Amino acid sequence: MSYKYLFLNDYSEGAHPDILKLLQESNFNQEMGYGEDSLCQKAEALIKKELKNDSAKVHFVSGGTQANLVVLASMLKSYESVISSETGHINIHEAGAIEATGHRINSIKTKDGKLTVEDIKFVLESHTDEHMVKPKVVFVSQSTEIGTIY
């Protein structure tokens, strides 16, 4: 089957030729690791410039799952949860990474992969007992796992 667009994941596509060229050019440069290399430092400077905030803290991780894991774990207290559409990336493609931090994903079935205000209200209104997790964060991605756009 041939697809014009396939929103499978961020690891299923080839690298842009400019990235391959830069990798080839920098392949034998000896650099410090863990974000201390010249390319990460340049990227950090560009991000801070774009944010117009020189004091912003920039931390690089190895992939999208790790980014979602770190961000959500830092945002949520132990008794809080994240609301996601049933087809949301964190709910179906991250192999339990979010739950591994002890946080629940409150998933809700949607017709097009997009959460509505009514969907979010439903989850909030369904979690009123003090023995239930408290929904705190809403997970959305501009293009959903099924290709719809907010």
Domain coordinates in residue numbering, the chain: 17-51, 64-138
Band (145; pLDDT cuts 50, 70, 90): confident
Output the pLDDT for position 8.
Answer: 64
Output the pLDDT for position 10.
Answer: 66
Residues 46-101 pLDDT 10s: 999 999 999 999 999 988 899 999 999 999 999 999 999 999 999 988 889 999 98
Amino acid at 130: E
Output the pLDDT for position 95.
Answer: 82
Which sign does the torsion angle of CA 108, 112, 113, 117 carry? negative
Residue 6: pLDDT over 80: no
Contacts 24+ apart (CB under 8 A), 116-125: 119/83, 119/85, 120/83, 123/83
